[in-house]
Each structure stands twice: as structure tokens, then as C-alpha cells.
């Protein structure tokens, strides 16, 4: 387990180092960062702009001075929840419509620099883009479902202290999987195989995702994660084929 954690962490750092030295990978990583941030910020702005209208529908402002403080508290909570939801939806929208194409291109370039020829799809451009979008859906939904189950376990049982530690590590591992899964998804391997790969190498994904949990640093590592994720997948593939 410890060796796998170190392996994942090493490739996360190695991916950023490789991207910084490569103008194409550096440019694509920065574009991905800007697109994702722009859509998330736009979503947050819209949520805050229409906050008062939504609050009026949920709970009109009371006249009683005794409960007005509770209304203000609920208003702040709703604003925070709306901003958080808009941020998450913005990230998912950018991921599905824009980032997956950029991530796939970064992965292809990485394969070439690693001395591995990327498998070319026989589909048309739009057919291949459709494939990328469709395969992204279960890879996005499954982690959300599992995360909700873990959260429910913390709420409904005595496992809350354990969940506090497990939840962020699992989230980091799923984010890592988004990047190691680029190669098998491009090769159009079945989702069952890709899910099996994630489970077999879970701890290396945890190690890869550790830096995603560090504020500010996570912005950099997430932007260039397709590079390290591709290298990590190729490393596991080479070991399994020995």
C-alpha cells in the first residue's frame, strides 16, 4: 500500500514537471484552468444574482422582528449553498463540454513523449467527441453515488470520525481516476475493465490525488493531472504486461 501511495504521488509531481517543460502541454493546461474557472465563476455570479428571487420563493421575508434573524441566517446559508452548487455544476459542465477534449489531447501528447503511440480512433471527429462525452457520464456519476453513500454512513452511524478522513482521500482518488482513465477510455475499453483497473490500483490513485487536497497547489496539479495520470496508467500497464 505504501509503495503504491508513493508511486501515485511521484507521478503527480512528475506530470507537472513534464508539462512545464513542454510548451504544448503547458498551454493546454492553462487553457483548461481558465475555461473551468471562467464557467464556475459565471455560475456563481448567476446564483448570487438571482439569490433574492430564489429566497423570496423559498421563504418570503417575515415581518416579525423575533424571527428576522433566522431569515437572514437562512438567506446566508442558501447563498453559500447556491454558490457551491453553481461551482460544482460549472466544473462538471466544463469537464463534459470542454475539459475532456483538452485532457484527451494532453494525454495523447504525453503518450507520444513517453514513446508510446496513441491509439487512433476510427470514428469521425464528432463521433469521437460523442464517445468522450458519453464515457464521461458514468465516470462522473459513479464517484458521486459512492461519495454520497460514504457521507450517509457518517451521518447515520458512529463512523463519522472515520468518514472525515476517508471522504477527502476517496475524492482525491476519484479525481485521479479521471486522469488515469483517459488512455483506456480513448482505446474504447469497456467501462467494467476501467472500473476494475481503478479498484486494483486504488492506493496509487489515492497517492496521486493527495496533492489535490492541498489548497492553491491543487489548482496547478489538477490543471496538469492528465499528464501524470497518463504516465501512471502506462506504468501500471507495463508492470501488468511483464
Domain ranges of the chain: 2-240
For residue 124, is pLDDT > 60? yes
Higher pLDDT, 234 or 242: 234
Mean pLDDT of 141-164: 66
- Looking at the chain, the whole-number percentage of residues with pLDDT higher than 70 is 71
Are 75 and 55 in contact by the 8 Å Cβ rule? The answer is yes
pLDDT, tens only, 182-235? 899 888 888 888 999 999 999 999 999 888 877 667 778 888 999 999 999 999
DSSP codes, 203-242: HHHHHHHGGGGSTTHHHHHHHTHHHHHHHHHHHHHHHHT-
Quick count: other Cβ atoms within 10 Å of Cβ 140? 15
Question: CA 199, CA 43: separation in Å to the nearest integer?
Answer: 34
Cβ contacts of residue 106 below 8 Å, gap of 6+? 19, 25, 28, 29, 32, 224, 226, 227, 230
pLDDT at 229 (0 to 100): 95
Amino acid at each position: 500500500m505504501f509503495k503504491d501511495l508513493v508511486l501515485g504521488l511521484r507521478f503527480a509531481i512528475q506530470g507537472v514537471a513534464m508539462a512545464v517543460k513542454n510548451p504544448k502541454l503547458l498551454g493546454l493546461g492553462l487553457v483548461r484552468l481558465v475555461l473551468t474557472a471562467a464557467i464556475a465563476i459565471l455560475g456563481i455570479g448567476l446564483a448570487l444574482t438571482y439569490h433574492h428571487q430564489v429566497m423570496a420563493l423559498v421563504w418570503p421575508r417575515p415581518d416579525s422582528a423575533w424571527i428576522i434573524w433566522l431569515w437572514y441566517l437562512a438567506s446566508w446559508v442558501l447563498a453559500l449553498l447556491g454558490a457551491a452548487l453553481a461551482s460544482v455544476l460549472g466544473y462538471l459542465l466544463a469537464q463534459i463540454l470542454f475539459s475532456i477534449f483538452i485532457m484527451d489531447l494532453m494525454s495523447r501528447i504525453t503518450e507520444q513523449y513517453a514513446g508510446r503511440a496513441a491509439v487512433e480512433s476510427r470514428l469521425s471527429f464528432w463521433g469521437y467527441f460523442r464517445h468522450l462525452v458519453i464515457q464521461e457520464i458514468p465516470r462522473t456519476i459513479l464517484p458521486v453515488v459512492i461519495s454520497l453513500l460514504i457521507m450517509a454512513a457518517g451521518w447515520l452511524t458512529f463512523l463519522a470520525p472515520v468518514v472525515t478522513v476517508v471522504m477527502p482521500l476517496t475524492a482525491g482518488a476519484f479525481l485521479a481516476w479521471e486522469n488515469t482513465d483517459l488512455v483506456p477510455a480513448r482505446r474504447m475499453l469497456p467501462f467494467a475493465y476501467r472500473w476494475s483497473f481503478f479498484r486494483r490500483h486504488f492506493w496509487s490513485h489515492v497517492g496521486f490525488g493527495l496533492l489535490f487536497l492541498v489548497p492553491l497547489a491543487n489548482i496547478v496539479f489538477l490543471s496538469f493531472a492528465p499528464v501524470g495520470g497518463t504516465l501512471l496508467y502506462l506504468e501500471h500497464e507495463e508492470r501488468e504486461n511483464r
